[in-house]
């Protein structure tokens, strides 16, 4: 049973429509199709379902296949498609790496899988060293430290959290990290100069540097090895083709394309 038609011979049957709707609802549960007695809404909905075919039909009617810009884009698409086929299908690449190769990569590239040491820090940033030094003897617990931080710390956004910086890494807070690393958990230390101001810090916890588990990084290792193999295969292929293919430059033809007036030497004598 034909449900809708457009153009000279294009159509959608009721069966095609219902099958399409079922497929869409499996992907997008919230989609709602119009009732069959809502003719305008149904026509609009069917238009959207078939817009690609309708546009293609309209393009053929207008002869866009003969348009110069269309031909240029099609040519470019074919060139890119051929290049993709050549790189991905024509150039032989070794098979996927096995567990032994991935394990060897893991063992020899430990730096890639390091989780840096982290220290949980609370901080009170004071405007000057004297104020920081004056408050240092008055703080004997984390509770008091957080109370003072909530009143005075000048690090933006940290008063509400009692100066909690969370677990910091050396690369982001080098001076604070170095001082905290030498302290023990529960220590309050400082003052330390930080960005033109002075801070007291409380060391709440420490996490030592560790290496990520092999199984956690195995997919990333496989992807790296496959990229390396693909790149090596392409490089080797290019090297072989350079030896096999002879390229000749027709200099006369190249010169004919150059507008020599654009490259005339500038007159530096001041005579005009």
pLDDT in tens, 106-142: 999 998 899 999 999 999 999 999 999 999 999 999 9
Calculate the average pLDDT of the chain: 85
Residue closest to 93 by CA, chosen among 240, 237, 247: 237
> Would you state the pLDDT for residue 215?
92
Task: Write down the pLDDT at residue 271.
Answer: 58
Two tokens at 150? 């909530």
Note the pLDDT of residue 150.
Answer: 95
CA angle (186 as vertex; 183, 187 as ends), nearest 5: 45
- The pLDDT, as a whole number, for residue 105 is 92
User: What integer pLDDT is reported at residue 235 of this predicted model?
Assistant: 85
Statement: residue 272 has pLDDT above 60: no
Determine the pLDDT at residue 11.
86
Q: Which of 130, 122, 128 is nearest to 194 (CA)?
A: 128
What is the rounded distance in angstroms from the CA atom of residue 46 to the CA atom of residue 10?
A: 12
CA distance 121 to 166: 6
Predicted model pTM: 0.52
Over 80: is that where the pLDDT of 30 sits?
no
Mean per-residue pLDDT, 249-264: 76
46 pLDDT more than 70: yes
Structure confidence at residue 95 as a pLDDT band (50, 70, 90): confident
Q: For residue 55, what pLDDT is reported?
A: 81
Task: Tell me the pLDDT band of 199, cut-offs 50, 70 and 90.
Answer: very high
Q: What angle do CA 226, 231, 233 make, to 5 degrees?
A: 95
- The answer to whether 206 and 116 have CB atoms below 8 angstroms apart is no
DSSP string, the chain: -EEEEETTTEEEEHHHHHHHHHHHHHH-TT--PPPTT-HHHHHHHHHHHTHHHHHHHHHHHTTGGG-HHHHHHHHHHHHHHHHHHIIIIIS-------HHHHHHHHHH-GGGGEE--EEEEEEEEESSHHHHHHHGGG--SHHHHHHHHHHH--STT-TTTTTEEEEE-TTTSHHHHHHHHHS-TT-EEEEEEETTEEEEEEEEEEE--EE--HHHHHHHHHHHHHHHHHHHHHHHHHHHHHHH------HHHHHHT--GGGGPPP--SS--
pLDDT of amino acid 86: 63
**Residue 125 contacts residue 150 (beta carbons within 8 Å):** no
Task: Give all strands of the β-sheet with 118-126 in edge-to-edge order.
Answer: 164-168, 118-126, 197-207, 188-194
Six token digits for residue 113: 């899988």
Pairwise pLDDT comparison (85 vs 212), residue with the higher score: 212
Q: Is the pLDDT of residue 90 over 90?
A: no
> What is the set of domains in the chain, with CATH numbers?
2-66 (no CATH), 68-113+216-244 (no CATH), 117-208 (3.10.50.40)
Report the alpha-carbon distance of residue 231 to residue 165 in Å, rounded: 43
Report the pLDDT value the prediction gives residue 54, as an integer from 0 to 100. 82
């Amino acid at each position: 049973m034909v449900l809708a038609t457009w153009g000279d011979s294009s159509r959608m049957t009721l069966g095609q429509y219902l099958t399409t709707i079922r497929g869409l609802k499996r992907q997008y549960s919230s989609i709602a199709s119009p009732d069959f007695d809502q003719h305008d809404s149904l026509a609009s909905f069917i238009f959207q379902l078939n817009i690609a075919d309708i546009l293609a039909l309209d393009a053929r009617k207008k002869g866009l296949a003969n348009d110069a810009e269309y031909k240029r884009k099609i040519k470019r698409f074919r060139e890119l498609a051929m290049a993709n086929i050549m790189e991905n299908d024509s150039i032989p690449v070794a098979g996927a790496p096995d567990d032994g190769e991935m394990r060897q990569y893991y063992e020899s590239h430990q730096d890639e899988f390091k989780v840096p040491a982290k220290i949980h820090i609370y901080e009170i940033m004071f405007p000057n060293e004297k104020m920081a030094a004056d408050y240092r003897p008055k703080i004997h617990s984390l509770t008091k430290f957080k109370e003072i931080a909530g009143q005075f710390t000048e690090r933006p956004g940290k008063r509400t959290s009692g100066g909690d910086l969370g677990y910091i890494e050396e690369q982001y807070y080098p001076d604070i990290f170095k001082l905290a690393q030498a302290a023990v958990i529960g220590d309050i230390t400082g003052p330390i100069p930080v960005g033109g101001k002075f801070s007291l810090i409380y060391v709440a916890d420490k996490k030592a540097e560790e290496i990520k588990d092999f199984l956690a990084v195995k997919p990333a290792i496989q992807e790296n090895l496959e990229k390396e193999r693909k790149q090596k295969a392409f490089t080797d292929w290019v090297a072989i083709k350079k030896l096999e293919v002879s390229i000749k430059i027709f200099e006369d033809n190249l010169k004919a394309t150059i507008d020599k007036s654009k490259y005339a030497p500038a007159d530096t004598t001041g005579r005009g």
